[in-house]
Structure 1
Amino acid sequence: MSEQVPQVHGHCDPRFAAVRTAFEENFRDRGELGAAVSVTVDGVTVVDLWGGWADGGRTRAWERDTLVNVWSTSKGPTALCAHILADRGLLDLDAPVAAYWPEFAAAGKERVVVRHLLSHRAGLAGLREPHSLEQLYDWELTTARLAAMEPWWEPGTRSGYHAFSYGFLVGEVVRRVSGLLPGAFLEREVTGPLGVDFTIGLPEKETGRTAELVHPPTVSTSEQAATFSQLAPAAIAALANPMAGATEANSPAWRAAELPAANGHATARAIAALYAIFAGRGTYGGRRVLSPEAVERVREGQGSCRDLVLGVGIGHDTEIALGVWLSGPNGSYGPNPRAFGHDGYGGSCGLADPEAGVSMGYVMNRMGPRIVDDPRKTALVEALYSAL
């Protein structure tokens, strides 16, 4: 029994006992293996819990500083890079992408603007030509192919989740403006000065404290085929060209690559700290990272719609802002419709609610089958808001 319901470690303010209860229930009732959750209120950490196992064989305990690949929870910090540049007047979100990346104007994309990239509205959800994982690890090749391709739909009209391509599109604009890839830019401007334990990719020296991702429950071949039969070509390109799961994300090649949309490695504490910048209207740890106006810009909704990539799986309309998803009427990030965040494939998430002054980070290694709104995350969000 002790293996199935491991001891939870860390600190939890008594006011947020419901979060601890939900976290423990994740292990008991929702198949959690190893995980951590962290919550800040007005920049102060009020919940910092961890427990379970860092590997599928249950040979390594999940420790206070265990890192794990957080998949698309990486997208929020990547968008933060672009917003810092915009806040400094170095990047105009309404300017054509080609103003910074001339090659991008190919195939009728001369009118695509930067905000289309940030809001998954560029029509470049995935490449049209076959693209292997090894090719995905090649920054120059992947960005060149994206610059040359024709959009799947008219840019600016609908959102369609840019699963992998998001990091290359936003990341290349960051590189063209700043001279640095997003990982190096974020380290120089944010994570280094604030001491936040988040990296895009994984430095080799950190391998020993990194959790092993474990595959989600298996889906039958017939169920998988039925799901893919409902997807448009753009959705298949976004989610399966290339396809990656736990095995690939545990590999040295994946960890060594720069994949700003998918291979951030972090603790829950780090995710909560990065989203605390938004929750604190631009300030965290006594340091101003963004202006209050820039934080408002981050959550500018770009139009509610049935997402062209994830719509089949989600089953309802959603609204993507400039790098984050709005909680909206569906309450994905709590009852405040203007709260926002980002989920990662399999379960992880970051959340910010500036009105409540609250941020949350949740990370785990046993992946669930969903891209968004994993039941473990939902239980934690509900518990958090019940305590406010």
Structure 2
Amino acid sequence: MTTSSSAAAAGLPAGVHGTADPRFDSAIKTFARVFAGRRGNGGALAVYRHGEPVVDVWAGAADAHGTPWTADTGAMVFSASKGVSATVLARLADRGLLDYSAPVAEYWPEFAANGKARITVTELLSHRAGLSALPAATPGEVLDHELMEARLAAAKPDDLLGAPIYHALTIGWLMSGLARALTGRDMTRLYRSEVADPLGVDGIHLGRPPAGSRTRPAHLVGSLKTLAERSIPAPVAAAVPRLPRLLRAPLSSIYVPGLESIFRGDDPAILDTALPAGNAVCTAAALAKMYSALACDGYVDGRPYLSTPTVRELERIRTYRIDHSLLVPFWHLGYHSLPAARAPRGYGHVGAFGSTGWTDPRSGISVGFVHNRMSLTWSPLDQTLVVALLHLILRAARDPALDIRQRTTAGAA
């Protein structure tokens, strides 16, 4: 990667590093306004078009000490992890190990307990298994992924079985339990063997990157991270089961008393478990490259990663019913699209606070957007920023004169 003497000379906004095709200036400037020059937090944005990288930029800091964000800085992407986990299962389906229309129990016999024998893989991946609520657990038990898989296999579905309701954390253990039944391996290993290694990237990990990885996880920062350093008072936590169902359902899917403790410190315990619904650590560039396979009929770097028929299966919406918890997404096979007016085309998965992997096969575009901010003040902007970025990126992709000329700033790693 070449460098120039200044961001201005390269044409990128001050404080933004990396490379970008000039046609995507509007998206880069929007990204810069939110992240450039931030000492306590930062982020990265990457775009592929027809399998070629056209944007790979980053800005801000990887921690509260001001450590600069670099090309190898990864962020915990929260629910954007689900898109990576779904891609693992797509690879297994592509090899004939998994039929999406088959009952889950055909592969994972323990899952048949308590009336779940007929739930299909498609129903599970489209959040219709009736298992959205976290099983009763301590924070330590939540970190034991094999225990959580076993509890969900034994659980009885609730009365929303068959209806879409966001399985915020449980979907990850359900996917990993299924994958373990198919392969004998856990999701941490499958992230490497089915995603990172075939793609040739060192920027997609489940939990903490292993020794020897170039990826350095950014610290979580912001007011909500500060709140997590304290314990939620017991009376407040105990009130969750008594809330009206509309409020209780989403909270019961993400919280058990004391769960805030797993986010504490610069080296939080959440990084030391396999939480396929929420603790992937990704660079923007690696996430964008994974989704480029879905934008390009399954091909990456000229090689097949998924068959075209499998990619077409992933593109199909599986339920048009509005989710009972989120009230918005249309579910695919572990991914989602957005039914709102003027929503960006395509599908992927957005995470808490806005980190996202996305693909739009019609334009050949894929996007990775990651950051490390957990802030109550910034959250409304962070959660919706990717929608604005996607609009600007897709608008640029429709420009018939788009080329892949690139430019680079000083300080690129």
Match of 1:363, as an amino acid? V
Is residue 279 of structure 2 the alignment partner of residue 263 of structure 1?
yes
Q: CA deviation at 1:301?
A: 1.1
Give 1:380's aligned residue. Answer: 389
Match of 1:142, as an amino acid? M
Q: 1-side partners of 2:186 and 2:341: how far apart?
A: 34
Q: 2-side partners of 1:111 and 1:325: how far apart?
A: 23
RMSD value over aligned CA atoms? Answer: 3.0
Q: 1-side partners of 2:374 and 2:85: how far apart?
A: 22
Q: 2-side partners of 1:208 and 1:279: how far apart?
A: 25
Select which of 246, 261, 269 maps to 1:231.
246
Give 2:218's aligned residue. Answer: 211
Give the 3 Å change call, closer, same or farther, for CA 101–250 of structure 1 in structure 2: farther
Query: Contact 2:119 / 2:129 at 8 angstroms: preserved in 1?
Result: yes
Q: Which gives a bigger RCO, structure 1 or 2 (Cα 8 Å, sep 6+)?
A: 2
Is residue 371 of structure 2 the alignment partner of residue 328 of structure 1?
no
SS of residue in 2 equivalent to 1:35: strand
Query: Contact 1:26 / 1:376 at 8 angstroms: preserved in 2?
Result: no
Give the 3 Å change call, closer, same or farther, for CA 114–31 of structure 1 in structure 2: farther
Select which of 184, 192, 199 maps to 1:194.
199
Query: Contact 1:30 / 1:376 at 8 angstroms: preserved in 2?
Result: no
Give the 3 Å change call, closer, same or farther, for CA 261–14 of structure 1 in structure 2: same
> How high is the TM-score relative to the length of structure 2?
0.82
Match of 1:115, as an amino acid? T
Note the residue ranges of structure 2 that are not aligned, 5 or more in a row: 1-12, 398-413
Q: 1-side partners of 2:352 and 2:246: how far apart?
A: 18
Give 1:314's aligned residue. Answer: none
Q: Deviations over 1:108-142 (max 9, x none)?
A: 1111111112111111112342x122111212211
Q: Deviations over 1:16-48 (max 9, x none)?
A: 111111111223799993000000000110000
Give the 3 Å change call, closer, same or farther, for CA 46–384 of structure 1 in structure 2: same
Identical-pair percentage? 37
Q: CA deviation at 1:232?
A: 4.9
Find the structure with the greater CA-based Rg: 2
Q: CA deviation at 1:250?
A: 5.0
SS of residue in 2 equivalent to 1:67: strand
Q: CA deviation at 1:93?
A: 1.1
Give the 3 Å change call, closer, same or farther, for CA 208–82 of structure 1 in structure 2: closer
Give the 3 Å change call, closer, same or farther, for CA 44–202 of structure 1 in structure 2: same
Give the 3 Å change call, closer, same or farther, for CA 153–329 of structure 1 in structure 2: same
Q: 1-side partners of 2:38 and 2:164: how far apart?
A: 31
Match of 1:381, as an amino acid? L
Match of 2:193, as an amino acid? R
> How high is the TM-score relative to the length of structure 1?
0.87
Query: Contact 1:347 / 1:367 at 8 angstroms: preserved in 2?
Result: no
SS of residue in 2 equivalent to 1:46: strand
Q: CA deviation at 1:287?
A: 2.1
Match of 1:327, as an amino acid? L
Q: CA deviation at 1:65?
A: 0.8
Select which of 318, 329, 333 maps to 2:329.
318
Query: Contact 1:33 / 1:53 at 8 angstroms: preserved in 2?
Result: yes
Query: Contact 1:215 / 1:246 at 8 angstroms: preserved in 2?
Result: no
Give 2:360's aligned residue. Answer: 353
Q: 2-side partners of 1:371 and 1:70: how far apart?
A: 16
Q: CA deviation at 1:269?
A: 0.3
Q: CA deviation at 1:249?
A: 8.5
Q: CA deviation at 1:6?
A: 6.5
SS of residue in 1 equivalent to 2:19: strand
Aligned length: 371
SS of residue in 2 equivalent to 1:37: strand
1:34-73 aligned at under 5 Å gives the runs 34-58=42-66, 60-73=67-80
Give 1:307's aligned residue. Answer: 323
Match of 2:308, as an amino acid? P
Give 1:174's aligned residue. Answer: 179
Give 1:165's aligned residue. Answer: 170
SS of residue in 2 equivalent to 1:117: helix
Is residue 27 of structure 2 the alignment partner of residue 19 of structure 1?
yes
Match of 1:344, as an amino acid? G
Give 2:91's aligned residue. Answer: 84
Q: 2-side partners of 1:101 and 1:19: how far apart?
A: 44
Give 2:269's aligned residue. Answer: 253
Is residue 370 of structure 2 the alignment partner of residue 363 of structure 1?
yes
Q: 1-side partners of 2:40 and 2:23: how far apart?
A: 24
Match of 2:311, as an amino acid? V
Give 1:101's aligned residue. Answer: 108
Query: Contact 2:295 / 2:366 at 8 angstroms: preserved in 1?
Result: yes
Range with greater deviation from structure 2 (79-88 or 251-260): 251-260
Give the 3 Å change call, closer, same or farther, for CA 145–100 of structure 1 in structure 2: same
Q: CA deviation at 1:378?
A: 2.2
Give 1:134's aligned residue. Answer: 140
Q: 2-side partners of 1:117 and 1:302: how far apart?
A: 11
Give the 3 Å change call, closer, same or farther, for CA 90–55 of structure 1 in structure 2: same
Note the residue ranges of structure 1 that are not aligned, 5 or more in a row: 312-316
